[in-house]
Structure 1
Amino acid sequence: MRRWYLIGLFVCLLTVPTMAQQVDFCGEVVPMERDFVSFRLMDVIKRNLRYQGYLPALRSKAEMYFPVIEPILQQYQVPLDFKYLPIVESGLTNATSPVGAQGVWQIMPGTAAELGLTVAGNYDERNHLIKATHAACRLIRMLHDQLQSWTLAAAAYNCGAGNISKNIRRQGSRDYYQLMLNNETAQYIYKIIAIKQLFESPELYLPGFGYNVFAKRDSKGSVFANPQTPPPGNIQDFNTIRINIGKKALPKQSSTVYTARLQTNAAFRDGELVSIHMLDNMQANGVYVGRNASLSGKGWIVSNRVYVDLGFGSAVVLCATDGKKGVPLDLLKTGGEVRLLSTDSHISTSLMNTRNGNVLADFSSSWSSSSSFK
């Protein structure tokens, strides 16, 4: 019975618009319409969810490391999704692999020398977060310049550009999700994307959350958090499927930010209602919400932040003023200003008199680097 329940959850992923809700890596769309891709990604995510007790500690560690890593990625014009690569490589520790890779970025000794890092005796710059991140960015840029794809560059970080190029020539495809690679590299991008999903959209994997990936929709798009009944018969092994679909560029979505005030709930518990008082006019999913109106939705705690389903699906996301999804649990004790990030493609700005209808670019916070990481 449990086996069929899990399969049912996986099958739901293929039919829900929220997951066609554009899973991407570095702006390159993950082809979730292919059965073997969606099943493999969900399998990796499911395995990570078994260790949910470890995820809060990993997120706390990332909060220290990411402010150092992100500005360096930006300096080299490397997409910020690469900040998740060292989590897969080392769990953000100065680990030593059996083959000699070292540090958060798991750089091999020979590669370190080529990238200008000093590896001598007791002094190893692969363990210096800032220097190693600069070196990793130089390597990633070189891999991208050679392969012309961030996804392939990440795969090459794992197994080498030569191996990726050889497989491209032999198999006649530049699509990572179609290439037949060694087992480690074949799962590598999926692991990075799984970490990204669990970090950036944890609410999508909470069973009680209204628009999670396991929810089904009716013809009008309303959401019911009930897994679908699995179909009869066996599901085809994703390793045997070959679909010739090329890489797609992620379409850009305009984002609008609205302001609201969070109402207090000092004793908040999972599944309780979270209420906000609108300070702007907002229109999303064809619904107009006026200034001074109140909205409520169930909230769920993930690593001391509360993720709230306000009933707009993924088109409207409640954020704190720091621009991060969800609101700090402590803010529910005091109340305060919050933001609603809308990516609804049908927003009509001419109908609204918003006070804070600025674009997402103005909503991002600046990162500060630190030299305390060795």
Structure 2
Amino acid sequence: MNIITSLSLATGLLVTAVQSNVSCLSSSTSLHTSISPVPASASFEPTLRPLLPPVYFCGESVPLHEETVARRLVSALVVNTNQNQALYRIRQRAASFFPIIEPILAQYHIPSDFKYLPLVESALTGFAVSPKGAVGYWQFMPATARELGLSIRSGNDERRNLIKSTDAACRYLRYLHNRLGSWTLAAAAYNNGIGALLGNIRRQQQRDYYYLRLNAETGKYLYRILAFKELFSNYQCYEGIISDRMMAYLSQPLKPASNDEDNDEVLLPESVVNDATKLAMNTATSGAPAQVNRQASDIPLPNAADVFQGGIKAQLAQSASLQRGQVWVFHLTRNGMADGKDVDEGDVLYAVVEDIDTRAGKLYLRADKLYSVDEKHTYNLALAAVDASTGRIGIKIPDMDQVKSGWILTWKAL
């Protein structure tokens, strides 16, 4: 079937019956009710279901028996297959980066289907920047990135670091799934924000992504992820929908991308891939997110404090100027625990002024080292100053009189 016919399918126009791919459908008859043949003389509303194989997202079946759902998936497939060269380049990136992303997902017990999410967000390009200011493979906004412990400094934006940004994305996805109890809803919340999604759930009294009425971007978001998954892992089953030319591109053996073809770090040395994979697989995790079985009205709006656990208090002992890169010294005001380590009153935090957001009136302080007075030893420790009332990283820019009077801040591990 050519691309014009495919577009007709995507827009809901009447199409002639297309023979389904028997080999793809027959393998799934145990999971789906078989479709009875329709006599040629019968009058019927055209349906896409006989053309599509069963599709799953994170083990959840996509309800392709719903004509609207089927058409949205076909539309996403058609849009993605309109750019042959671009899709081939994304395949090249995926071949290089998936071996790094997949074990990190496994470490956090995130389904591997989420490896396709950064394809939608950034085409797996580390230097991608959205019109709203989101940056990197996983397209984090500055505030969200800081809350997840990523450093954003001139010349060192960790949103562009594949391993660190993927680790942060996994922690965020765990949080979303823990709050929503569904991977499809977690994907939607990643795009639209959990607060906006919960508002839609409450107003509509509907918790199924496929039946929620969402804004245009979020309504298409999961279908775009599914389209990449199906095109990269199951394209043979869409012979009646994908053009012959695109079939050839998807079956074409991949060639390594050269630096002349892409300014981004598409290919990584094999040693880096191996080391990153071992690190992700061997690093201990705090466990999988718990399933949440609540009614929509029982789910509270999110607070960044839920993402981080533990907190300590420290009083400013020595300040420098209110400029980026300046080091401020704080003394802990009581015993506690930070990042799994016991800390004592009087221990010293060395904090860096990481950013000053005058527009939002926020100051971002990050402590990378702690000196233990009793042990007389300096430890590497990642802490950030947070607003004690909300748990969010970033505090109001103080006036210098307040700073000089002995400023006490709350710090939490990243």
TM-score between the two structures when normalised by the length of structure 2:
0.50
- Identity in percent: 46
Q: Give the drift of 1:53.
A: 2.7
Give yes or no for the alignment of 1:77 onto 2:109: yes
Write the deviation string for residues 270-292 of structure 1: whole angstroms up to 9, x where unpaired.
Answer: 9xxxxxxxxxxxxxxxxxxxxxx
Structure 2 residue matching 1:46: 3-state secondary structure: helix
- Measured in 2, the distance between the counterparts of 1:300 and 1:121 equals 43
- Measured in 2, the distance between the counterparts of 1:97 and 1:36 equals 29
Higher mean displacement: 29-38 or 91-100:
91-100
Larger Rg: 2
- Look up the equivalent residue of 1:179 and give its one-letter code: L
Give yes or no for the alignment of 1:302 onto 2:250: yes
Q: Give the drift of 1:119.
A: 0.9
Write the deviation string for residues 32-62 of structure 1: whole angstroms up to 9, x where unpaired.
Answer: 0111110111011111111123222211111
Q: 1:116 to 1:142 in 2, by over 3 A?
A: same
- Measured in 2, the distance between the counterparts of 1:129 and 1:60 equals 16
- Measured in 2, the distance between the counterparts of 1:121 and 1:46 equals 39
Partner of 1:101: 134
Give yes or no for the alignment of 1:127 onto 2:160: yes
Structure 2 residue matching 1:302: 3-state secondary structure: helix
- Look up the equivalent residue of 1:48 and give its one-letter code: N
Asked if the contact 1:18/1:213 (under 8 Å) is kept, the reply is: no
Superposed counterparts of 1:264-303, under 5 Å: 302-303=250-251
Partner of 1:59: 91
Q: Give the drift of 1:190.
A: 0.7
Structure 2 residue matching 1:96: 3-state secondary structure: coil
Partner of 1:321: none
Write the deviation string for residues 294-347 of structure 1: whole angstroms up to 9, x where unpaired.
Answer: xxxxx9673435xxxxxxxxxxxxxxxxxxxxxx99xxxxxxxxxxxxxxxxxx
Superposed counterparts of 1:144-159, under 5 Å: 144-159=177-192
Partner of 2:59: 27
- Look up the equivalent residue of 2:163 and give its one-letter code: I
Partner of 1:171: 204
Asked if the contact 1:16/1:213 (under 8 Å) is kept, the reply is: no
Residue segments in structure 1 that go unaligned for 5+ positions in a row: 215-224, 226-269, 271-298, 306-327, 330-366
Write the deviation string for residues 104-144 of structure 1: whole angstroms up to 9, x where unpaired.
Answer: 00011111111111112221111111000000000000000
Of residues 134, 139, 150, the one that matches 2:172 is 139
Of residues 63, 66, 80, the one that matches 1:48 is 80
Q: 1:198 to 1:206 in 2, by over 3 A?
A: same
Q: Give the drift of 1:89.
A: 0.2
Structure 2 residue matching 1:177: 3-state secondary structure: helix
- Measured in 2, the distance between the counterparts of 1:181 and 1:190 equals 13
- Measured in 1, the distance between the counterparts of 2:14 and 2:111 equals 34
- Measured in 2, the distance between the counterparts of 1:10 and 1:46 equals 18
Partner of 1:197: 230
- Measured in 2, the distance between the counterparts of 1:167 and 1:142 equals 19
Structure 2 residue matching 1:196: 3-state secondary structure: helix
- Measured in 2, the distance between the counterparts of 1:182 and 1:31 equals 20
Structure 1 residue matching 2:85: 3-state secondary structure: coil
Partner of 2:310: none
Superposed counterparts of 1:240-251, under 5 Å: none
Asked if the contact 2:122/2:139 (under 8 Å) is kept, the reply is: yes
Structure 1 residue matching 2:139: 3-state secondary structure: coil
Give yes or no for the alignment of 1:116 onto 2:149: yes
Partner of 2:328: none
TM-score between the two structures when normalised by the length of structure 1:
0.55
Write the deviation string for residues 66-120 of structure 1: whole angstroms up to 9, x where unpaired.
Answer: 0110000000000000000000000111211121111000011111111111112
- Measured in 1, the distance between the counterparts of 2:173 and 2:16 equals 33
Asked if the contact 2:102/2:115 (under 8 Å) is kept, the reply is: yes
Q: 1:143 to 1:191 in 2, by over 3 A?
A: same
- Look up the equivalent residue of 1:67 and give its one-letter code: P
